[in-house]
C-alpha cells in the first residue's frame, strides 16, 4: 500500500507547487486533487497549462493519483444527469492529459422523498457510472465510485450500483464511514461485498478509535491491495504545524502497515 493526501481539508488552500512540496517534505507519495480547491487543476485548463501540471509531477517524487470530482448521478432531472455525465467526461479527459491515474465520482442521495423508488435511483446511478467508467477506460484512466452520501454510503447499496453498472471498469473508493459497520460493529461483511472492486481508499484520523483502522489494513494485506490510502484530514494553522501533523500521520500509517 501507498500513502497519499486528499486536498479536501489539509491542502484546500494550497497552490499546486506548495501541495507537492509539502508532500515531499512529509513523505507522502501521492495526491488526489479535489475539485474547486486552490491547486487549480480543473477542466478549464488550456493544453499548455495541462502540460505544465503533468511536468510538475513528472519532475517530483509525488504521483498524481486522482482527480476528486463532485459529479453525482442520482438526479431525477434527466437534463441534470446528462450534465453530470458531461462533466465526468471533461474530468476523464483532463486526467489523461495531466497524467492522473483516475477520477473519483460519487453517489450522494436517494430520491425517495421525490417519489422515486430506491431501486430505480440505484440503477440510474449505476448506469451513469458505467457510461463514465467506459469513457475513462478509453482514455486510459480508472473511475472510482466513492462510498459516499447520506443514504448511498451504505455498502449494500453501493453493491447494487455496481451490479447495475455491470462493468469491470467500475471500481470503488472505500471511504471509511460509520455505515461500513453492521449491527455488531464489524466492517467484515460490508467490506467483503466490495473488496473485489476496491481500487482506491480514503482514510481519516488513524489515532481515533471510531473505526477499526488496523483491521482494515490487515484485510487489505490479505487481499493483496497495492493501491493508495489517501489521508483526508483537517488542516493546520500554519505550515510548520501542517508538516508536523503530516509526518506524525505518516508514522502512524507506517506502523499499521508493518
**DSSP code at position 105:** E
> How large a percentage of the chain has pLDDT more than 90?
97
Q: At what angle do helices 78-98 and 118-139 cross, to 10 degrees?
A: 30
Average pLDDT, stretch 146-150?
A: 95
Pick from 52, 54, 74: which is nearest to 64 by CA? 54
Q: Is the pLDDT reported for residue 247 higher than 90?
A: yes
Evaluated on CA atoms 72, 75, 81, 87, the torsion sign reads: negative
- The pLDDT value recorded for residue 69 is 98
Tell me, letter by letter, the H, E, C secondary structure of 84-114: HHHHHHHHHHHHHHHCCCEEEEECCCCCHHH
- The pLDDT value recorded for residue 113 is 85
- The pLDDT value recorded for residue 35 is 97
Q: How confident is the model at residue 150 (pLDDT cuts 50, 70, 90)?
A: confident
Burial label, 140 (beta-carbon count in 10 A; 0-12, 13-18, 19+): exposed
| Segment holding 99, helix H or strand E | none
pLDDT in tens, 71-130: 999 999 999 999 999 999 999 999 999 999 999 999 999 998 889 999 999 999 999 999
This prediction's pTM: 0.95
In angstroms, the CA 73 to CA 215 distance is: 32
Instruction: Among 3.20.20.150, 3.40.50.1970, 3.10.180.10, 3.40.50.2000, name the CATH number for the domain at 2-257.
Output: 3.20.20.150
Pick from 141, 144, 168, 172: which is nearest to 159 by CA? 172
pLDDT in tens, 159-204: 999 999 999 999 999 999 999 999 999 999 999 999 999 999 999 9
**How does the average pLDDT of the chain come out, rounded?**
97
Give me 38's grid cell: 486552490
Amino acid at each position: 500500500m501507498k500513502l497519499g493526501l486528499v486536498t479536501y481539508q489539509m491542502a484546500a488552500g494550497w497552490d499546486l507547487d506548495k501541495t507537492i512540496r509539502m508532500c515531499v517534505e512529509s513523505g507522502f507519495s501521492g495526491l488526489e486533487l479535489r475539485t474547486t480547491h486552490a491547486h487549480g487543476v480543473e477542466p478549464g485548463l488550456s493544453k499548455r497549462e495541462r502540460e505544465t501540471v503533468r511536468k510538475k509531477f513528472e519532475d517530483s517524487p509525488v504521483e498524481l493519483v486522482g482527480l476528486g470530482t463532485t459529479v453525482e448521478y442520482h438526479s431525477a432531472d434527466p437534463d441534470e444527469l446528462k450534465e453530470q455525465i458531461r462533466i465526468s467526461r471533461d474530468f476523464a479527459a483532463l486526467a489523461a492529459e495531466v497524467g492522473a491515474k483516475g477520477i473519483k465520482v460519487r453517489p450522494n442521495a436517494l430520491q425517495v422523498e421525490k417519489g422515486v423508488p430506491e431501486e430505480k435511483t440505484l440503477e440510474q446511478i449505476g448506469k451513469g457510472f458505467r457510461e463514465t467508467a467506459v469513457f475513462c477506460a478509453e482514455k486510459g484512466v480508472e473511475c472510482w465510485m466513492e462510498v459516499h452520501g447520506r443514504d448511498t454510503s451504505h455498502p449494500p447499496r453501493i453493491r447494487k450500483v455496481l451490479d447495475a453498472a455491470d462493468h469491470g471498469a467500475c471500481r470503488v473508493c472505500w471511504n471509511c464511514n460509520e455505515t461500513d459497520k453492521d449491527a455488531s460493529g464489524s466492517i467484515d461483511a460490508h467490506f467483503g461485498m466490495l473488496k473485489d472492486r476496491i481500487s482506491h481508499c480514503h482514510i481519516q484520523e488513524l489515532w481515533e478509535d471510531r473505526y477499526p483502522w488496523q483491521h482494515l489494513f490487515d484485510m487489505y494485506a490479505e487481499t493483496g491491495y497495492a493501491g493508495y490510502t489517501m489521508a483526508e484530514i483537517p488542516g493546520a494553522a500554519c505550515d510548520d504545524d501542517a508538516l508536523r501533523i503530516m509526518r506524525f500521520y505518516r508514522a502512524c500509517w507506517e506502523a499499521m502497515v508493518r
